[in-house]
Structure 1
Amino acid sequence: MDTESVERVLSVQSHVVYGYVGGKAAVFPLQCLGYDVDVVNTVHFSNHSGYGRSGGTKATAAELNAVFESMERNELMVPTRLLTGYVPGAEGLSAVAGLARKLRSEKPDLIYLLDPVMGDSGKLYVAADVIPIYRELLPLATIISPNWFEVETLTNVRLDSLQSLRKAISILHDTYHVPHVVISSMPLTRWLYEALPPSVRPPTDEDQLLCITSSAPSSCSPSSAASAQAQLPTVHALCVPLLPGYFSGVGDLFSALLLAHFHRAPSTCISSSISASPSPSPSAHEPPTSAGPPTSPIAHAAAHALAVTQHILRLTHEHALTLPAEQRLPSDDELDAAEPLRKIRRMRGRELRLVQGQAALRGVGVEVRPMQVWEDFWGA
């Protein structure tokens, strides 16, 4: 391959010495798929917070800006894609936002995946003052990959019905002008399960997660024959099994794979009727996709990201089952607090098996289930 044709990702997110979260979960998969990756660390920690204790430092806004400015002076700021993840505070996130604005103005074709890492399971794990900055970043992004709680936080809409889900997605598209929204891991609550079309709904709502993609309607002028329905966002969905146990870095891995497999359709006009044939991927091993309904570029990318992420999680879970008993003890807050190594050993045995799964990262031996069009998502 001509090295000049290789795409380059600028990854701005956390770094841990041991384990696989943040950049450690994202950079290697991107490299396996043929991307050059330039890495800026927003934190440098010994390990992820799930271990209960860690040490390290957080990059200040001044330190981040010094890196960005030096790269520019040396003509090294040359990404074709931008990936941003965990940034611990508002000042640092403001520096990242400044970089994103500059890159967007200089490189209109830049593909920017914004993972607004703020919290999970109803709780923030960053300071609340980052929320308005993330909202300012939304219009700069090509793709965003929030979890359900982050969607609620960004839109101020509680997701408790199909109507609320429609409202939240509409806000992201219409108010913040995000072209592509991917909600990667929605718990399949009863209302959501009952709202799913038959083509998406699994036999039971137990032990399932739902991934949704939504692409805004094309900015092309509609023909006189175009229906109002065609001018609504195109929504795809797919359910995946929820594996038991605690995993860290899954969202970081998924976002990296989503960015890697996203390729704009040849036409600037995208509708639900397109059977998207992506631009040639840097990867020499694009996973084979099962025959399925017409899809969109973001649904194509999400299907690949889901398949590979699930494969890595299964490898990790199967490995954890082989560990000695003292590394498989169940969670117990009281016992973990009394004996920190109890929790640490458990976490250590559940680090993502990225190196062992590198063939899967390249798509070898992975069966990809296509995302399904959510018919009538917006109602009749």
Structure 2
Amino acid sequence: MKILSIQSSVAYGHAGNSSAVFPLQRLGHEVWPVYTVHFSNHTGYGQWRGVVFEPSTVADVITGIEERGVLPECDAVLSGYQGASAIGEVVLDAVARVKDANPKAVYCCDPVMGDVGRGFFVQPGIPEFIRDRVVPAADIVTPNQFELEFLTGAEVRTQADVVAAAQALRAKGPETVLVTSVQTDSTPADTVQMAVVTGGGAWLVTTPLLPLYLSGGGDATAAIFLAHVLTDGPAAALGRTADSMFSIVETTYEAGARELQLVQAQDAIAHPSGRFEVTRLS
């Protein structure tokens, strides 16, 4: 597949495209990365250097790709953190151009805006922009539980709540909803779950919860899921994504590292072992 990925970039570490591109390539896909920012490192360090690109610059790069006449070959558009609504408009325009050139292309949006315990960490207006403009244009969305609740206005406490909220989100436009970082009243202790919901059903997978927080994990998750769901279907994609992501986090934890150990875990990305059972919910 050929994937246009419009995200941030860091020189040191892994976040945005610096987290998404390598897994996609390791899975055998061609990636056209377009950067919205280029920083020395992710902002979790508290200090960083670099530049935020003007929306016109990002749009110009996309136009340059279009001028090569290759948009009909693009199978998917992937986007993550959108620092401003103007960047979001550029992404939506790119999606429209790709789909005009290739109606079979899909748009996968990781609706980055906040998390449980942290609340919103994006500029005011971005959550509403994602809810009202971006989600209806997406074919696949990958919210965490906090983002799912905001996007639907639902309170998620049970597995049934997860499925109902995801179906409500599907009603806004996307065909496939991957919910990450699921914690319900039936989630076993010291574990975390992911669920995928489509028109054909809902599935859940459970993995151990390791005591560390890593920037870029959601970016890698969305990329790996996109790669698998387009070729393997939702249930298989869920299991393979969970397996690869746990291996990445496990490798990072064992190394005592602050950054995702993507290169060290690359074999688990390319060849997930299937060690986690995927359960059908509906």
Query: Does TM-score exceed 0.5, indicating one fold?
Result: yes
What is the CA-CA distance between 1:111 and the residue it aligns to?
2.5
Q: Residue deviations 1:91-147, cap 9 Å, x none?
A: 111111111122223322112211111111251111131223323222332211110
Q: Show the counterpart of 2:174.
A: 178
SS in 2 for 1:128: coil
Shift of 1:372: 0.8
Count residues with an aligned counterpart.
279
Q: Unpaired segments of 5 or more residues in structure 2? A: none
Task: Report what 1:21 is aligned to.
Answer: 15
The CA deviation at 1:149 is: 1.0
Change (3 A) 1:139 1:318: same
- Bigger drift between 83-92 and 159-168 goes to 159-168
What residue is the counterpart of 2:253 in the other structure? 317
Identity, % of aligned positions? 31
Please say if residues 163 and 202 of structure 2, whose CA atoms lie closer than 8 Å, have aligned partners that are also in contact.
Answer: no
Higher-strand-fraction structure: 2
Question: Residue deviations 1:200-220, cap 9 Å, x none?
Answer: x6xxx3211111110125xxx
Q: Is the 8 A contact 2:167 2:197 kept in 1?
A: no
Within the candidate set 190, 198, 212, 1:215 is matched to: 198
The secondary structure found in structure 1 opposite 2:170 is helix
Shift of the 15–143 alpha-carbon distance from structure 1 to 2, 3 Å rule, reads same
Q: Structure 2 residue aligned with 1:355, among 249, 263, 272?
A: 263
Within the candidate set 80, 94, 106, 2:101 is matched to 106
- Across the aligned residues of Structure 1 and Structure 2, the Cα RMSD in angstroms comes to 1.8
Q: Give the aligned residue type for 2:166.
A: I
The aligned residue for residue 95 of structure 1 is 90
- Give the alignment of 1:84-233 within 5 angstroms: 84-121=79-116, 122-135=118-131, 136-161=133-158, 164-174=161-171, 176-187=172-183, 189-190=184-185, 193=186, 205-217=188-200
Q: TM-score, normalized by length of structure 2?
A: 0.92
Distance 1:244 1:311 in 2: 14
Moved beyond 3 Å, runs of 4+: 160-167
Q: Distance in 2 between matches of 1:307 and 1:170?
A: 25
By how many angstroms is 1:163 displaced?
6.0
Structure 1: gaps (5+ residues) = 1-6, 194-200, 218-233, 265-277, 279-296, 321-348, 376-380
Q: Distance in 2 between matches of 1:53 and 1:60?
A: 21
Larger Rg: 1
Does residue 70 (structure 1) correspond to residue 6 (structure 2)? The answer is: no
Contact 2:251 2:261 in 1 (8 A): yes
Please report the TM-score for the alignment, with normalisation by the length of structure 1. 0.69
Change (3 A) 1:83 1:141: same
Deviations 1:54-98 (A, max 9, x none): 122212211111111222123243411211111211111111111
